[in-house]
Structure 1
Amino acid sequence: MDKVFNTPLAHLLGALLVLLAPIFLQGVEGTIGVNYGTVADDLPPPVQVASFLRDSTFIRRVRLFDANPEILKAFARTGISVTVNVPNDLIPQLTMLSFAQQWVEINVLPYVPATNIVRILVGNEVISTANKLLIVSLVPAMETLQAALVEKSLDRHIRISTPHFLGILSNSSPPSTGKFRPGYDIHVLKPLLEFLRATNSPFMINPYPFFDSSDNTLDYALFRPNPGVFDETTQLTYTNMLDAQLDAVFSALKLLDFEDIEIVIAETGWPSRGDPGQAGVDTGIAAEYNKKLIQHVMSGIGTPLMPNRTFETYIFALFNEDLKPGPTCERNFGLFKPDMTPVYDIGIVHPRVANAAANTDHSHTNSRTNLLLLLLVCLMCF
């Protein structure tokens, strides 16, 4: 077998595959992003992270959880699309135009257009906080921030949205019964959706099959072969949990006559490590979920209720974050270690980078082998 794979033809085919890989994976650049969290004390400098993503991966979309100036500067002239986040506690203040103008002056204007800021998220999972002040302030804050962007002629390039936990749904199974929680549907979500439609902005959600899976539903959550879940109303069968979650959201949007709004996956992922005895948590399973996730959302197959679509998707997360509270899994959603080597391979690193690393390892192995042979020959001479 070694002789077969060591022919000039084999080398030529290998070179062609390396050259063609970017063509096969170019959809990743438009579709797949990553959440860049920083709740850790061992992360590399942002300028190294930005260069690494630009030069070594197919990732061209990054979501931040704040508007960190060091990170925004680091992504200047990389061409990577950046989403920034307004913290939840600033939402009530953001309803005042003067504050919104100041926020834009400080957190956006100094960095554009060098840094490609394309979206501002107002809060994160605000409705799920059950904080009445935050919830009633959410849409007014988005509208006021929009006015501040219009004033600076930034509204054509930067869109405003807010991500939601799937707990905003009162029903989700089967997917055709999906609907928003009573009270929030008319008084909060309908005005929010009207804003999104008027500004051509997406409805953003954080679906995590991991948190809804069990030993019995692991195959369903991981896109593995399984019996599927049948929706009697639509006569459609669901073969993976993510599709069911997306279609439940679509059904809720349709119930309010907003099925035309684009759905973006703001967060999803799978941890590579958990607490002792926790089932379905290891490096192999995390790699399996994220690799199949990328294939699925890029495939153009869509979902049973939304066929022939791709979904802009942000994987959680870029790095493991060692200072996050909670169970072990919360600190182990990262795709990369602090030294920027992959925790596992899901095909987002450029082949030339992976090959260079492999060739370096191979070269080191050959050098050690040659040295041992030389020593052996010398000993034989004596």
Structure 2
Amino acid sequence: MNYMLLFFSCSWVISPISMFTMVVALIIFSTGANASIGVNYGTLANNLPPPRQVAEFLLHSTVINRIRLFDADPQILRAFAHTGIAVTVTVPNHQITHLTNLSFAEQWISDHIQPHFPSTNIIRILVGNEVISTANHLLIRTLVPAMQSLHTALVSASLHRRIQISTPHSLGILSDSTPPSSAKFRQGYDTHVLKPLLSFLRSIASPFVVNPYPFFGYSPDTLDFALFRPNQGLLDHDSKLLYTNMFDAQLDSVYSAMDRLGFSDVEIVVGEIGWPSEGDGGQIGVDVATAAEFNKKVVARVNSGIGTPLMPNRTFETYIFALFNENLKSGPTSERNFGLFRSDLTPIYDIGILRPTVRTSNPENNPRSPGRGSSGKRWCVTKSGAETVALQRNIDYVCGLGLDCRPIIKGGACFFPNTVEAHSAYAMNLFYQTMGKHEFDCDFDKTGDITAINPSIH
């Protein structure tokens, strides 16, 4: 992307400092937040649409560009071939002990990865899921050796520079998490499991994956804190930092525990986070509106690049749980109702990941692959005669995704002219340029037009 082409809507020449600031802001977004939000694609249900239909839906109807699978289902991997969507696969827990055998690991790569790569954009293999929380000592003891063996198999197949190895953890790995600066890993697991694991992840430049769930940590008294609502916050008396939401506190607790072992430089990825839309009777804060509120705020928070009190200005690759409700899962009602979409692919609620345009099902008319976007220097502008209400809706949509709309906020470099039309043009072009300059990214319900004439000089 040519970052300098994005900021056209200011009608005057922007100072070099202002332009530098905006370009840096976009680069931060484009290298982090634009690729940060993914979704978990669980399949414990008997009413889900075919994988190919799911892949086409994510590709053409949402801004989601990465998924995480809980296995390595070949049908799903084939369905996502040639979509460019980044795919994370998982080795089931019961296969971990077998992976310590290098021959088994090499065969696993041969069977589950090589037939699909690189046509399917497999970026990461997760070994097991929340293994330490299983309390299965055999699994825990063999986790790191299994990861090392699988990485060796990737090296043998010359895939180690393209595919990462990691394993996700629940926050049960922490013995203390309040306040965040005092957090540490559970005794015994800290030095015998997590330290070798973190050392291995650092050596192969792979992330530490955690599954923070404010939903499982809230009480009626802390509901506002969990939902990013106005609240008194949590003051960490040791660090003197104030926490206004549980998500930040949980991530900083993980960071503090890692820092205590000397691994603050290892990247953190949020493997799962979500909120159910339905629960058991009398359960406070479990409904469609609350689920939508929480997940939308997670998306905005992650995409903002604000980071956390202990990790400022950082963007975390984050996977919302989950794509669908899963009616075959056991446990309380909430376990079956974390989905963003129904089985017919209609949204249970909207968190800003749906694309704003409606397109035909013909892929030739609506290409999404990076190589099929508009060529040359082009800009998205507001169509003459577009209604103000529709243009304001465009602003709300784009800025609600977490894209950098600061230049059109009061005091920003592009605030003037202070009109809905000018601000909408900025937001619409921001979306168009960021998404790859495809024609349908400038449709905005027929309120946008593409031009090859730079509007900023007219």
For the aligned pair, the TM-score class normalised by the smaller chain equals 0.7 to 0.9
Other-structure match for 1:369 = none
Which of 296, 316, 323 lines up with 2:321 in the alignment?
316
Other-structure match for 1:367 = none
Other-structure match for 2:229 = 224
Cα distance between partner residues in 2 of 1:61 and 1:199: 21
Cα distance between partner residues in 1 of 2:279 and 2:115: 41
Cα distance between partner residues in 2 of 1:66 and 1:41: 17
User: Is 2:291 the partner of 1:289?
Assistant: no
Q: Tell me the amino acid that sits aligned with residue 185 of structure 1.
A: D
Which of 130, 135, 146 lines up with 2:140 in the alignment?
135
Deviation beyond 2 Å, 4+ runs, structure 1: 25-29
Q: Show the 5 A alignment for 1:134-283.
A: 134-283=139-288
Other-structure match for 1:366 = none
Q: Report the alpha carbon displacement of residue 214 of structure 1 after superposing the two structures with TM.
A: 1.1
Q: Tell me the amino acid that sits aligned with residue 180 of structure 2.
A: P
Secondary structure at the residue paired with 1:34?
strand
Cα distance between partner residues in 2 of 1:68 and 1:352: 31
Give a deviation string over 1:60-110, Cα, whole Å, max 9, x none.
010000000000000000000000000001000000000000100000000
User: Is 2:112 the partner of 1:107?
Assistant: yes
Cα distance between partner residues in 2 of 1:150 and 1:113: 15
User: Is 2:90 the partner of 1:85?
Assistant: yes
Other-structure match for 1:9 = none
Q: Report the alpha carbon displacement of residue 297 of structure 1 after superposing the two structures with TM.
A: 1.0
Contact preservation (8 Å) 2:174, 2:183: yes
Cα distance between partner residues in 2 of 1:28 and 1:46: 26
Which of 65, 73, 80 lines up with 2:78 in the alignment?
73
Secondary structure at the residue paired with 1:274?
coil
Q: Tell me the amino acid that sits aligned with residue 177 of structure 2.
A: S
Which of 51, 59, 64 lines up with 1:59 in the alignment?
64
Q: Percent identity?
A: 66
Give structure 2 stretches of 5+ with no counterpart.
1-26, 362-458
Other-structure match for 2:357 = 352
Contact preservation (8 Å) 2:78, 2:116: yes
Secondary structure at the residue paired with 2:53?
helix
Other-structure match for 2:421 = none
Cα distance between partner residues in 2 of 1:148 and 1:247: 34
Q: Tell me the amino acid that sits aligned with residue 245 of structure 2.
A: N
Q: Report the alpha carbon displacement of residue 298 of structure 1 after superposing the two structures with TM.
A: 1.1
Give structure 1 stretches of 5+ with no counterpart.
1-22, 357-382
Which of 80, 93, 101 lines up with 1:96 in the alignment?
101
Q: Report the alpha carbon displacement of residue 29 of structure 1 after superposing the two structures with TM.
A: 4.3
Equivalent residues, number: 333
Q: Tell me the amino acid that sits aligned with residue 139 of structure 2.
A: L
Give a deviation string over 1:321-359, Cα, whole Å, max 9, x none.
0000011100000000001010001110000039x9xxx
Q: Tell me the amino acid that sits aligned with residue 354 of structure 2.
A: V
Cα distance between partner residues in 2 of 1:29 and 1:44: 27
Q: Report the alpha carbon displacement of residue 28 of structure 1 after superposing the two structures with TM.
A: 5.6
Secondary structure at the residue paired with 2:220?
coil
Contact preservation (8 Å) 2:33, 2:302: no
Give a deviation string over 1:86-138, Cα, whole Å, max 9, x none.
00010000000000001000000000010000000000000111101000100
Secondary structure at the residue paired with 2:95?
helix
Cα distance between partner residues in 2 of 1:29 and 1:302: 15
Other-structure match for 1:302 = 307
Cα distance between partner residues in 2 of 1:76 and 1:195: 30
Q: Tell me the amino acid that sits aligned with residue 166 of structure 2.
A: S
TM-score (norm 2): 0.71
Other-structure match for 1:377 = none
Contact preservation (8 Å) 1:29, 1:61: no
Cα distance between partner residues in 1 of 2:236 and 2:247: 15
Contact preservation (8 Å) 1:29, 1:59: no
Other-structure match for 1:334 = 339
Other-structure match for 2:121 = 116
Q: Show the 5 A alignment for 1:340-379.
A: 340-353=345-358
Cα distance between partner residues in 2 of 1:113 and 1:302: 32
Contact preservation (8 Å) 2:33, 2:305: no
Residues 1:326 and 1:241: Cα distance change in structure 2 (over 3 Å):
same
Give a deviation string over 1:146-185, Cα, whole Å, max 9, x none.
0000000000000000000000000100000110001110
